[in-house]
Chain A
Amino acid sequence: MKIAVISCIHGNYEALDAVLLDIDQQKAEKIFCVGDLVGYGPHPNAVISQIRSLDIPTCVGCWDEDIVEGLNACDCSYPSLLAEKRGLQAHEWTNQEVHPENREFLANLPYSLQWKNLAFVHGSPHSNHEYLLPEIDAFTALERVLSTGADTLFCGHTHVPYVRTLNTGNIQATVDSQTISQEISFTSPVKRIINVGSVGEPRHGRPNATYVIYDDETQAVSLREVTYNYQKTCAAIIEKGLPKIFAWRLSQGLEFAEKADDPTHVCTR
């Protein structure tokens, strides 16, 4: 059975519409969404309404959480102080815009989803603000999958899709305590992290929407890249009074990431 997994739509209805059409053409039978329905983009209500009407199982993203609970993003969630300032503007605009019933929908989204041997989270199983980048330490990546009890972990948040396969993980340890003294030999079967990219705010260097098709029988993964009329979304961003740079970066498929003032900052939130 083919499933589609989408993430980080960020109020971009044009992109969502194009991706849903592509999913239909790929003959996927089920869709999962790993959050960030809102933020940055000009159509938060249309996106939420579409997800609701299609009854797509969805877990909560960090932007969705912030609309429900109030802004809780630490400055380390952004690549720079300017990016943080723009993020704050986008949060305030979205917060004003979202209808009460849609806010209620976001408030009831679960943190994670499980289906068969697959787990779904927005950022990581430990935090919606953690970026599971493709280059993170392989043991750290393995721990994130193992902590879910699943074989494959689907996530988003970084806006750049990838598949990471973790093979033949093993650790040898000895433990001495008052009650036990033993040698431990830990081995892990093959595990995978599949980052599904971003539907509405891509950062892989092109403006196209990205998502993933997964076949749960063959375990085949297809990273999908879908063209759509992104200029329409860019025009709506400017028309709605959102920071113009959101339109620029959408057209480039890039985060405008100035160097952070304190790149060593560690989030203790």
Chain B
Amino acid sequence: MWIILSGIDGNLAAYEAVMADIKRQRYVDALYILGDLVGPTKECEQLIARVKSPRRGELQPIICKGWWEEQCLNLHGLGPSGNVPDLLAKYGGDTVKMLWDSVSRQTVQWLRNLDFGFFELDCLLIHGSTVGVSDELTPETPPIQMLDRLSRMQANNLFCGRSGLTFQYQLQGGSVTSEVTTLDHQISPQTTTITPRQIIGVGNVGRNPGEATYTIYNPGSNQVKFKKVTYGNSKGFKLY
């Protein structure tokens, strides 16, 4: 079994709640975190330390970059863009400052070395999509776009976290007929078909206070299961 998380967003209490829930699962082989580990929160550094040092019986997480990691790198001049227009537009200047204050330079260097995504068996595990960390796939994304994102890496299963939603989007079949004319030839019509494949939104751990979601995947049977964990004082779960 693989456990797949995303969108912790610097929420330590949510991460602890999910890790406690994972301990109840059996036959776990791998723990993936598909980005957005950090966020503009005071406990961000504590969270990073916790993730980097798993407790007894916990797996070492396999982590890739997410949208928040890219914002951090951009803020420090280490990302693909020299500024953070998306972050500013979406959250404002206070959040930019909070993120700057919450993530140390040492942590930024560590974030810099994270992978863009992982390809394991026929599964692509990534924060946004094959297009980039900002690419948000949702249940409303058109099938042709979903197929494109899968085809770019020739994956049969794409696990993503950008939307924060849990969903299972299965492409069951399809076809298109294509005819090409060049200066010298006319190639007779050819039909291309697709085989079943799927996109899975893995949920989010820390975005919604009091409620975390994550995904369990069985690569042997191709079964997907979504888990919801409630936490916080009112739910009788405490961080200590």
Question: A residues near B, CB below 8 A?
Answer: 126, 134, 137-143, 146-147, 160-180, 184, 186, 188, 197, 204, 210, 221, 223, 225, 268
Contacts and interface: CB of A to CB of B under 8 A. Distances in A.
A204 B183 CA distance: 8
B144 A180 contact: no
Interface string B165-192: 1111111111111111111100101101
A171 B171 contact: yes
Q: Which 3 A-B pairs have the closest CB atoms?
A: A171-B174, A177-B167, A169-B176
Most buried by B among A126, A172, A188, A225: A172
A138 B147 CA distance: 11
Contact of B147 (A134, A165, A171): A171
Interface of B: 116, 131, 139, 142-148, 151, 165-184, 187, 189-190, 192, 194, 201
B151 A171 contact: no
A167 B173 CA distance: 16
Contact of B176 (A166, A180, A204, A223): A166
Contacts of B143: 171, 173, 184, 186
A167 B190 CA distance: 10
Contacts of B168: 175-177
Given A139-B151, A161-B182, A177-B139, A168 B144 contact: no
Given A173-B171, A177-B166, A139 B148 contact: yes
9 contacts: A139-B148, A164-B180, A169-B175, A171-B171, A175-B169, A176-B168, A186-B174, A223-B183, A268-B116
A160 B182 contact: yes
A139 B179 contact: no
A174 B174 contact: no
Contact of B183 (A140, A161, A186): A161
Contacts of A137: 151, 192
Nearest to A137: B151
B151 to A, nearest CB: 6
Contact of B178 (A141, A176, A197, A210): A141
B176 A142 contact: yes
Contact of B148 (A140, A175, A179): A140
Contact of B189 (A160, A162, A167, A172): A167
A121 to B, nearest CB: 16
B194 A139 contact: yes
Most buried by A among B167, B168, B169, B174: B174
Contacts of A163: 180-181
Given A171-B173, A175-B167, A186-B143, 13 more contacts: A134-B182, A138-B177, A138-B190, A139-B147, A139-B174, A140-B151, A143-B147, A146-B144, A167-B189, A170-B176, A172-B172, A173-B169, A177-B168
